[in-house]
Amino acid sequence: MKLFSFLFTSTIGRKWLMGLTGLFLISFLLVHCSVNACIFFNDEGETFNMAAEFMGTNWIIRSMEFVLFGGLLLHIFQGLYLWKFNADARKKRYSVNAGSANSTWYSRSMGILGTLLLLFLVVHLKDFWLTSRFTDVITSGEKTLFQEMKEVFANPLPVVIYVLGCISLCYHLLHGFQSAFQTLGINHKSYTPIIQSTGRLFSIVVSLLFAAMPVAMHLDWIQ
């Protein structure tokens, strides 16, 4: 254990944990987004319900859920810690700031963007995860997860919250995706530009797809 204590004690160690958990969360997003995108088959949720049922019952996937929550908690804990730690490293602040001359606003706002994501996640987990895992609404066959989605997104408020969540996600990842590789020590003349454009593409496509789901359901584009 002592061998790995640096992941919680040194700045670079903490960053390594951020990068590793960040990339892990990205891999989860890829799966999550693919499964959910099944609603776009527009087949009354048949394909989606099948995929969701597999995800909800397969024991390998179910055990990954613990790893996922562990990773998410580590990422949040470490992220909030570093946010505070870094802000404290400059007690006396500048009176003129010219941050936009040397960096993007979203790279400087990872703490805020992450916190918005966290708030969104609380709402999101309450909407679907609690219902599907801790009540028997879905398992009893009372309604399918697809019907649950249709119900939630019939209201405009959740739709707005979800779209805002997706915007935060997009900017968090626009910086985070490539940043994680840099943190893990991967920076290379030819590969880094590829990582950067993949990151931009990933952030935009995944966020757009996620945002399209509540919107499409609300507008009844998806039946």
Partner 1 sequence: MSNSNMNLKLKVWRQQNANDTGHFEDYRVQASPDMSFLEMFDVLNEQLITEGKDPVAFDHDCREGICGMCSMVINGRPHGPKHGVTTCQLHMRSFSDGDTIVVEPWRSNAFPVIRDLSVNRSSFDRIIAAGGYVSVNTGNAVDANATLIPKEIADEAFEAATCIGCGACVSACKNASAMLFVGAKVTQLALLPQGRAEASKRVVAMVNQMDAEGFGACTNTGACSAECPKQIPLSVIATLNREYIKAKLKGY
Residues in contact with ligand HEM by CB under 6 A are: 15, 18-19, 22-23, 25-26, 29, 75-76, 79-80, 82-83, 110-111, 114-115, 117-118, 121, 172, 176-177, 179-180, 183
Structure tokens that stand for 51 in this block: 């995929």
**200 Cβ contact partners less than 8 Å away, ≥ 6 residues apart:** 174, 177
Q: Cα dist. 208→21, 24, 97, 124, 189 in Å?
A: 23, 20, 32, 17, 30
**Closest approach of Cβ 48 to partner 1, in Å?**
36
Least Å from the CB of residue 187 to ligand HEM: 12
Binding to partner 1 by residue 140, rule CB under 8 A? no
Interatomic CA distance for residues 76 and 10, integer angstroms: 17
Find the binder of partner 1 among 8, 11, 30, 198 (CB under 8 A).
11
Tell me the closest approach of the beta carbon of residue 103 to ligand HEM, in angstroms: 13
168 is a site residue for partner 1 (CB under 8 A): no
110 or 217: whose CB is closer to partner 1?
Answer: 110
Based on the shown chain and the rule CB under 8 A, indicate whether residue 13 belongs to the binding site for partner 1. yes
**Chain residues 109-128 in contact with partner 1, contact rule CB under 8 A:** 110
Rounded to 5°, angle at Cα 71 from 68 and 77: 135
How crowded is residue 41: how many other Cβ atoms within 10 Å of its Cβ?
12
- Which distant-in-sequence residues (6+ apart) come within 8 Å of 2 by Cβ? none
Q: Which does 203 bind (CB under 5 to 8 A by kind): ligand HEM, partner 1, none?
A: none
Looking at this protein, which amino acid is placed at residue 126? K
Residue of 169, 9, 3, 165 lying closest to 78 (CA atoms)? 9
Closest among 170, 210, 154 to 36, alpha carbons compared: 210
Residue ranges in 70-99 that form contacts with partner 1 under rule CB under 8 A: 82, 85-99
Residues found near partner 1 in the complex (CB under 8 A): 3, 6, 10-16, 82, 85-99, 101-104, 107-108, 110, 175, 178-179, 182-187, 192
